């Protein structure tokens, strides 16, 4: 079945440094979503990518969807302490619209 893998598992950065997390699926995805979960909180939707090669930006966050629609990345420029949390990618296979598979997440800590 479909598997979604994320790397790295943990990332510790100094405030102001950049951060990237990578997401890879064993199968082609119809779309991919990114969520952020603050410590002690619940996942909160960040963005959805649908098109092959799509790139979207939200202020300091840049999201990419691979050409083959099997991988994605989230890049944060100049991290801030408010970026702390776990970032999850989640994807669906075409035809399995109900089955949203989450990666294990990348836990980001930021040292002020």
Residues of this chain that interact with other proteins (CB under 8 A) are 6, 33, 35, 41-45, 48, 88, 90, 92, 96-105
97, burial (CB in 10 Å: exposed 0-12, middle 13-18, buried 19+): exposed
| In contact, 34 and 74? CB cutoff 8 Å | yes
User: Closest CB to other proteins among 33 and 64?
Assistant: 33
Compute the least distance from the CB of residue 78 to other proteins, in Å: 26
Question: How far, in Å, are 11, 72, 92, 105 from residue 3 at the CA level?
Answer: 22, 14, 10, 13
User: Closest CB to other proteins among 76 and 89?
Assistant: 89
User: Closest CB to other proteins among 52 and 80?
Assistant: 52
Compute the least distance from the CB of residue 110 to other proteins, in Å: 19
User: Closest CB to other proteins among 98 and 112?
Assistant: 98
- Tell me the two tokens of residue 86: 């776990």
Compute the least distance from the CB of residue 5 to other proteins, in Å: 10
Q: Read off the DSSP letter of residue 31.
A: E
């Amino acid at each position: 079945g479909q598997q979604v893998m994320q790397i790295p598992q943990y990332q510790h950065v100094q405030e102001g440094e950049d951060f990237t997390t990578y997401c890879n699926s064993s199968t082609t995805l119809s779309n991919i979503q990114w969520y952020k979960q603050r410590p002690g909180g619940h996942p909160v939707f960040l963005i959805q990518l649908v098109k092959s090669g799509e790139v979207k930006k939200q202020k300091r966050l840049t999201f990419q969807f691979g050409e083959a629609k099997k991988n994605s990345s989230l890049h944060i420029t100049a991290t801030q302490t408010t970026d702390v949390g776990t970032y999850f990618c989640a994807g669906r296979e075409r035809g399995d619209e109900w089955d949203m598979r989450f990666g294990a997440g990348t836990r980001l800590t930021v040292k002020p």
